[in-house]
């Protein structure tokens, strides 16, 4: 009790000066961060929205059957991402003294954990890939392109685990200094104390959701392509892709899509088979290269052979050389889509794939449905982590801090294993796609509610779980 009294006096003095803080909060100096971040967010929106709209228009030209409303949403999601720091700063500005104090302690721990883990991963990855970058003609440009994609993807992947470590560090430190007990003595419950942290979890989930909507999955595919190009090999977007146009009954088999085929609209080693209404082959077109024109929507095949399968008694060579065809509506971007991994497709691309293959029995929908649900389920894990870390970080004895950390590390490993486990079984069809995507969230949300309930009711966590281990009684 003696060690708590000085902290209580400090908190009471802090609360007694709350009225002074209210007036100080509206000073010019305290407004600099919210105003500055708001201006920066508006400037970024003015730059990002037109560029993303142009990218969407270009994408729709190549993918006329795509989910157009889903792609039209992309610029506004980026705008939301740009103004999130401004929203967070204004919420901090209008918060109470204790909420702002807890936010500062958490943000400092978050920056420390994120910076440390990011530095370790970057140095490790750079050491592994330095030899690959040195093989490229422009190693610096290649490295910048690679890490421009690698950094956002890594930050989003690490975000739930960095949140967990930062919360354990900040809340554990405040618990050791009896600051949590002092806040409770002011009349605040545990849920009210961690409410600013839950808001942080909502912001983090929003950032992950925006990133997973389109840019994250697409970037993962580009990262592999850039590394293949750095090694000096053939950097192809996809290889040996089979595409069937349901309207014309044409079947395309494409050997390779070059690294930047969107700019040249050129594909390699093409075989196009045409079928009649009865499903019998009529003609086969083989070409070393095919190029699609955006201006007049025509296909130009180079090094071509056209074989007539209707000739009797054996197929007959009809034509060789260059061939121009104007009435085929297929585009290179449509054809490449079946060759892309479902993990590299964003929400609009998954929507268009599922719509195009609806009712087709031979198409395996389960991996695409699982990934579609996972695009929305993965961001929510940030909020689940907050609920997990709060009862483990808030302790009322020095002995409980180490127990909470050990449980949290065990839960981190469990989340990694559970996510991979559920996704694998969902894509294989063993579990329903929705359950496979949300299974990790459901499981650890139940654990979080249990731990939170024990902490709110004042019952011990670590000692209770320790009794479950073999050899303990």
First to last CA, the chain: 31
Task: Return the pLDDT at 377.
Answer: 93
The structural domains of the chain, ordered by start, are 242-339 (2.60.450)
Task: Return the pLDDT at 86.
Answer: 94
Which residues sit opposite 316 in a β-bridge? Answer: 308
Rg (the chain; Cα; Å)? 28
As a whole number of angstroms, the distance between CA 49 and CA 120 comes to 34
The string of DSSP letters for 240-262 reads EEEEEETTTTEEEEEEEEETTHH
Q: Please count the other Cβ atoms lying within 10 Å of the Cβ belonging to residue 47.
A: 11
Per-residue model confidence as pLDDT tens for the chain (473 residues) = 444 444 444 444 444 444 444 444 456 677 888 999 999 999 999 999 999 999 898 888 777 778 889 999 999 999 999 999 999 999 998 888 888 999 999 999 999 989 888 888 888 888 887 777 777 777 777 778 778 777 888 888 888 888 988 888 888 888 888 888 888 888 888 888 888 999 999 999 999 999 999 888 887 777 767 776 666 656 667 778 888 887 778 899 898 887 667 667 788 889 998 888 777 888 888 999 998 887 788 899 998 888 888 766 677 777 777 888 878 888 887 788 777 778 888 899 899 888 877 777 667 888 889 999 999 999 999 999 888 888 888 776 655 555 666 777 777 788 888 888 899 899 888 899 999 999 999 999 998 888 877 777 766 665 555 554 444 44
| CB-count exposure of residue 459 (10 Å: 0-12, 13-18, 19+) | exposed
| CB-count exposure of residue 345 (10 Å: 0-12, 13-18, 19+) | buried
**Taking the model in full, what pTM does it have?**
0.80
pLDDT digits (tens, 9 = 90+) for 276-288: 877 788 888 899 9
pLDDT digits (tens, 9 = 90+) for 319-333: 777 888 878 888 887
Across all residues in the chain, what is the average pLDDT? Answer: 81
Strand order in the sheet with 250-258: 236-245, 250-258, 266-275, 281-292, 299-308, 316-325
Tokens of 285: 């077109």
As a whole number of angstroms, the distance between CA 194 and CA 211 comes to 26
Q: 382 and 204 in contact (C-beta within 8 Å)? A: yes
Q: 456 and 190 in contact (C-beta within 8 Å)? A: yes
Tokens of 334: 């449509």
Task: Return the pLDDT at 232.
Answer: 60
């Amino acid at each position: 009790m003696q060690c708590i009294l000085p902290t209580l006096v400090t908190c009471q003095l802090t609360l007694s000066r709350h009225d002074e803080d209210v007036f100080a909060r509206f000073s010019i100096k305290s407004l600099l961060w919210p105003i500055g971040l708001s201006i920066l967010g508006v400037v970024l929106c003015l730059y990002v929205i037109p560029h993303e709209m142009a990218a969407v228009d270009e994408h729709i030209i190549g993918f006329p059957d795509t989910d157009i409303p889903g792609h039209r949403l992309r610029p506004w999601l980026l705008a939301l991402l740009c103004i999130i720091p401004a929203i967070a700063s204004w919420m901090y500005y209008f918060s109470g003294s204790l909420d702002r104090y807890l936010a500062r302690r958490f943000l400092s721990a978050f920056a420390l954990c994120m910076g440390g883990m990011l530095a370790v991963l970057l140095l490790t990855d750079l050491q592994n890939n330095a030899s690959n970058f040195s093989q490229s003609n422009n190693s610096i440009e290649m490295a910048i392109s690679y890490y421009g994609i690698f950094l956002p993807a890594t930050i989003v992947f690490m975000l739930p685990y960095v949140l967990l470590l930062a919360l354990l560090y900040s809340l554990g430190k405040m618990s050791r200094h009896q600051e949590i007990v002092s806040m409770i003595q002011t009349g605040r419950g545990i849920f009210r104390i961690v409410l600013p942290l839950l808001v942080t979890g909502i912001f983090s989930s929003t950032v992950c959701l925006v990133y997973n909507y389109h840019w994250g999955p697409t970037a993962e595919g580009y990262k592999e392509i850039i590394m293949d190009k750095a090694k000096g090999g053939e950097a192809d977007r996809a290889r040996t892709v089979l595409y069937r146009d349901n309207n014309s009954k044409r079947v395309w088999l494409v050997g390779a899509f070059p690294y930047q085929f969107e700019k040249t609209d050129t594909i390699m080693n093409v075989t196009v088979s045409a079928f009649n209404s009865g499903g019998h082959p009529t003609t086969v077109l083989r070409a070393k290269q095919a190029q699609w024109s955006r201006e007049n929507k025509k296909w130009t095949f180079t090094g071509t052979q056209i074989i007539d399968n209707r000739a009797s008694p054996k197929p007959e060579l009809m034509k060789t050389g260059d061939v121009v065809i104007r009435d085929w509506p297929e585009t290179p971007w449509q054809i490449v889509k079946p060759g892309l991994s479902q993990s590299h497709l964003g929400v609009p691309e998954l929507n268009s794939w599922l719509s195009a293959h609806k009712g087709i029995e031979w198409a395996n929908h389960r991996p695409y449905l699982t990934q579609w649900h996972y695009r929305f389920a993965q961001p929510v894990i940030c909020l689940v982590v907050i609920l997990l870390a709060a009862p483990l970080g808030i302790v009322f004895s020095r002995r409980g801090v180490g127990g909470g950390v050990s449980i949290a590390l065990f839960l981190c490993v469990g989340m990694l294993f559970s996510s991979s486990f559920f996704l694998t079984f969902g894509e294989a069809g063993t579990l329903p796609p929705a359950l496979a995507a949300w299974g990790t969230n459901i499981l650890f949300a139940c654990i979080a509610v249990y731990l939170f309930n024990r902490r709110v009711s004042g019952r011990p966590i670590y000692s209770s779980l320790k009794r479950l281990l073999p050899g303990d009684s």
